Structures are given as structure tokens and as C-alpha cells.
Amino acid sequence: MKSWQAPVEVKVIAGLLVGLPVAWALLDLIPVLSAGASLAIYRMPALALLLGGVVTTGLVLKMGSARIGGLVVAVVFALLHAFLLLGAELWFNKLFSGLSFAGYGYAFVLLNSMPLKRHLLGANA
């Protein structure tokens, strides 16, 4: 199998935009299995995974609009996790929301990096 030829920064962005929603969904297993919460709790992680997957696909296909879409996704979900951090009562939810906020913030910074621009635009960057 041929590996994806991209800078490390691009691979980290893809990992963050797909990995954070998967971790969020796994964390949501706790209230579903222990307290019998509704499966509606998975709406936001599913939306985050869908949007992160679309941005990651755009990065793999070297679409220029993937950068702008990634910036929007990173800002929206970073703000969501900031509000979840403020409103959470359980310590592990606070910890996860803080780490997710930092992860989306880091993805935002990497989406503005020169290696990503070179990956998308080539020599024109």
C-alpha cells in the first residue's frame, strides 16, 4: 500500500480533526452505558466527525477550499469545547473538553502554516 505523501503538519491536522470526535464518542459511552442516557448524545460527535472527515478528504485531494473549511470547523468546535469546559460538572468531561479545545486550537494554527499552504498550492505558496 502506498503511503500518503504529505508533510507531517497535514497528517497531524487530519489526525486531530478525525481523532478528537472519535475520542469524544468513546467518552460518551460512559453515560450511555452507566446512566442509560439517550443515543441523542452522539449528535455532536457525529457532526464533528463528518465535518472533520470532509476537511481531511479535501486535504488528501489537495483542494484549496479544505483549508478555509478546516479553519471554520476548528473555530466552531474549539468554541463548543470551551463552553462545554465551563458547563461540565464531571472532572473527566472538563479534562477532555480542555484537551479538545487545545487540539482544535492547534489544528487552527497548523491550518495557517506554510507546509500546509505548500501542500495545497504547490510552488505558488
pLDDT averaged over 10-residue windows placed end to end, the chain, 125 residues: 80 95 92 83 94 95 92 97 92 94 97 90 76
Residue 71: domain span:
8-121
Strand segments (E) across 1-125? none
Cα–chain center distance at 46: 11
Alpha carbon distance 25, 44 (integer Å)? 9
Could you tell me if residue 13 is inside a domain? Answer: yes
Domain count for the chain:
1
Give the list of residues 6+ apart from residue 92 with CB closer than 8 angstroms, or none: 27, 30
pLDDT of residue 23: 96
Contact 52, 17 (CB under 8 A): yes
Could you tell me if residue 74 is inside a domain? Answer: yes
Terminal CA-CA length for the chain: 30
Could you tell me if residue 84 is inside a domain? Answer: yes
pLDDT of residue 125: 64
pLDDT of residue 3: 74
Could you tell me if residue 1 is inside a domain? Answer: no
pTM (whole model) above 0.95: no
Could you tell me if residue 94 is inside a domain? Answer: yes
pLDDT of residue 1: 46
pLDDT of residue 21: 97
